[in-house]
Amino acid sequence: MTTNVHAKRAFAGKVSYVTDGDTLWVQPDAGGAPRKLRLDGIDAPEICQSGGEASRAMLAQRALHQHVEVTVRRRDVYGRGLARIRLAGNDLGAQMVSAGQAWSYRWRRDLGPYAAEEAVARQFRRGLFAVSQPELPRDFRKRHGSCYVVKK
Please tell me the distance from the alpha carbon of residue 98 to that of residue 42, in angstroms, as a whole number.
11
Please tell me the distance from the alpha carbon of residue 37 to that of residue 98, in angstroms, as a whole number.
20
CA-to-CA separations, 116 to 12, 53, 56, 70, 131, in angstroms, rounded: 27, 24, 22, 23, 19
- Domains present along the chain, CATH in parentheses: 9-144 (2.40.50.90)
- Dump pLDDT digits (tens) for 7-33: 469 999 999 999 999 999 999 999 999
Give the pLDDT of residue 149. 58
- Dump pLDDT digits (tens) for 92-134: 999 999 999 999 998 888 899 999 999 999 999 999 999 988 9
Mean pLDDT score, 61-85: 95
Closest among 50, 55, 151, 141 to 97, alpha carbons compared: 55
Looking only at Cα atoms, what is the longest distance across the chain?
A: 45
